[in-house]
Amino acid sequence: MNFTNLFSNINPREVIRNLPDAVFVIDLDGRIVWANDKAAVIFESKRTDLKGLNFDEIVANGVFLAEKSYSKRNSVVTGAFTVEGKEFFIEMNAKKYVEQYFITIRDVTAMTNVLTIAERTGRLNKEKNVMFVKLSNEIKSPIQSIIGFSQALLDGLGGEMNDKQNKYVRIINKNSSELLHFMDKFIEFAQAESSLFKCENQPFDLVNAIHTVVKNNESVLSAKNLSVNYDFDEFNRKTVYSDENSLKIILQNILEISIKSTDVGSITIKVEHPEAEEVERCGAKPIKDASRFSYVKICVTDTGMGFAESELEGIFEPYTQLDKAHKKTILRSITLGTAYTILKRMGGAIWINSEVMKGSSYYVILPVEKGLKNE
């Protein structure tokens, strides 16, 4: 086949006329010299009516954006108007040939609406979370009151109760305490997602922070006769630069889940510096000029029941657990979801390795060096 003859019979203007995108040719003053059929469809007009119009009449800042698209070598999104004044959104690319711009346009109104709705939904979610946090006292006060008065009845301050009354009051006290704990975790998650969350980085003693979190759990550890072991041999720095309070929340939430799933044995907390490949693989935010000592890796390993693979799916995403009937599953996901959300906002990462009846390992990687910037 003679390809030279084949292509010599192709009319370039005919090809352009049938492109799936709108095509305009305008002069440097912005006057439309030519438009294809798709342009007429998108702008709801005849090609002959478009010809001779100034491009700015149908595209907001059209000539300026054409030059910007050409000079920056990328597309721009802007508003456009039909001849009758109907507004929509377009994506525009421009090339310059001699004294004219060659412009392709695609209608992205539907996509823009989706993005606008997503942005608005995200903003509303943050505002909703702010509302939950600010109303936390009003939400928790009645529950605390029920717990306080029911405990007073159990302590005999309201007089002697019979066995049935004592049983019912204990149920009220127990369920109210569980509800308060759930609300505390829910509000903690809402705050982590909201605009109220702020990282306040400063130097602190990481080892001391870990010991403090463990000490806060001494009573439940003793009740289950669980021991805690420490392995800091591969950690060469005592002072780190991060948000101490946020890290304590992360560790508390991990330790809480670990203790609940462990009835016999021990929990080991290991601190070390991760290899660069592991930092990159885990999804922590990359930092320019960082070394392995710019990050810290904390591993909490238990000898508990472990998780099935199906349980690990979506374990950091509370919203995906709402269709599951077991409230413990939702609470666990809220607790770990808080740790995940805070770590993401701190530039870190979290993941879990687990096997049923063989325990779980919770891994945290976090940047801990001052003065380094994200790539």
In whole angstroms, give the CA distance from residue 42 to residue 104.
12
Confidence bin at 74 (pLDDT 50/70/90): confident
Residues 20 and 166 placed together within one structural domain of the fold: no
Asked if residue 84 and residue 21 are part of one domain, the reply reads: yes
Distance, CA of 173 to CA of 180 (rounded, Å):
11
43/325: higher pLDDT: 43
CB count within 10 Å of CB 337 equals: 25
| Per-residue confidence band for 68, with pLDDT thresholds at 50, 70 and 90 | confident
* Cα distance between residue 152 and residue 133, in whole Å: 29
Whether residues 179 and 63 fall in one domain:
no
Task: Output DSSP code: residue 56.
Answer: G
Distance, CA of 129 to chain centre: 14
Where residue 45 sits, what CATH number does that domain have?
3.30.450.20
Q: What is the pLDDT of residues 78-110, one digit of tens each?
A: 888 887 888 888 889 999 887 899 999 988 876
Q: Give the residue from 218, 230, 302, 311 showing the smallest Cα distance to 262.
A: 302
State the angle between helix axes of 136-154 and 109-134 in degrees (0 to 180), rounded to the nearest 10: 40
Tokens 């063989």 belong to: 358
Q: What is the pLDDT of residues 188-234, one digit of tens each?
A: 988 888 877 888 999 999 999 999 999 999 999 999 999 999 999 88
Tokens of 177: 């305490």
Global pTM exceeds 0.75 = no
Interaxial angle between packed helices 163-193 and 109-134, expressed in degrees from 0 to 180 and rounded to the nearest 10: 130
Mean pLDDT over 136-146 rounds to 88
Q: Which of 162, 193, 224 is the last residue of a domain?
A: 193
Q: What is the pLDDT of residue 120?
A: 52
Average pLDDT over residues 327-337: 87
Is 375 inside a domain boundary? no
Confidence of residue 16 (pLDDT cuts 50, 70, 90): low
Q: Of 107, 128, 150, at which residue does a domain stop?
A: 107
Can you tell me the mean pLDDT for 115-128? 55
One domain for residues 347 and 252: yes
Position 6 pLDDT exceeds 70: no
8 A C-beta contact, residue 42 and residue 48: no
Shared-domain flag, residues 244 and 268: yes
Give yes or no for a contact between 104 and 92, defined as CB atoms under 8 angstroms apart: yes
Looking at the structure, tell me whether residues 165 and 239 fall in a common domain. no
Provide the pLDDT for residue 375. 53
Residues 51-72: what's their mean pLDDT?
88
Tokens of 302: 């238990």
* Average of per-residue pLDDT values in the chain: 85
Question: Do 135 and 210 reside in the same domain of the chain?
Answer: no
CATH of the domain at 178: 1.20.58
| Residue 325 binned pLDDT confidence (cut-offs 50, 70, 90) | low
pLDDT at 137: 82
Q: How confident is the model at residue 71 (pLDDT cuts 50, 70, 90)?
A: confident
User: What is the strand order of the sheet 100-107 is part of?
Assistant: 32-35, 22-27, 100-107, 87-97, 76-81
Contact 341, 263 (CB under 8 A): no
The confidence score (pLDDT) of residue 80 equals 87
* Average pLDDT of span 158-173: 92
Domain count, the chain: 3
Residue 364: pLDDT band by 50, 70, 90 thresholds?
very high
**Residue 223 sits in the same domain as residue 356:** yes
Look at residues 253, 256, 289, 290 and name the one whose alpha carbon lies nearest to residue 366.
Answer: 290
Q: Are residues 310 and 334 in the same domain?
A: yes
Residues 6+ apart with CB under 8 A from 82: 43, 44, 45, 58, 88
Q: Is residue 340 part of a domain?
A: yes
Confidence of residue 323 (pLDDT cuts 50, 70, 90): low
34 part of a folded domain: yes
Q: What's the CATH code of the domain at 206? A: 3.30.565.10
Q: Label residue 17 by pLDDT band (50, 70, 90).
A: low
For the beta sheet containing 266-272, the strands, ordered from the edge strand earlier in sequence to the opposite edge, are: 227-231, 266-272, 295-302, 359-367, 349-355
- Per the DSSP assignment, residues forming a β-bridge with 266 are 227
Domain annotation covers residue 268: yes
Co-location of 44 and 73 in the same domain: yes
On whether residue 374 sits in a domain, the answer given is no
In a domain, 373, yes or no: no
Q: Given this model, what pLDDT does residue 123 score?
A: 54
What is the Cα 265 distance to its own chain's centre? 35
Structural domain for 295, as ranges: 202-367
- pLDDT for residue 187 is more than 90: no
Query: Are 218 and 78 members of one domain?
Result: no
In this structure, the answer to whether residues 244 and 363 fall within a common structural domain is yes
CA atoms of 108 and 77, how far apart (whole Å): 8
End-of-domain residue from the set 193, 220, 236: 193
Pick from 172, 313, 297: which is nearest to 231 by CA? 297
Token pair of 213, please?
């979190």
> Does pLDDT of 63 surpass 50?
yes
pLDDT tens track for 236-275: 777 899 999 999 999 999 999 999 999 999 999 999 999 8
Confirm if 293 and 240 have CB atoms less than 8 A apart: no
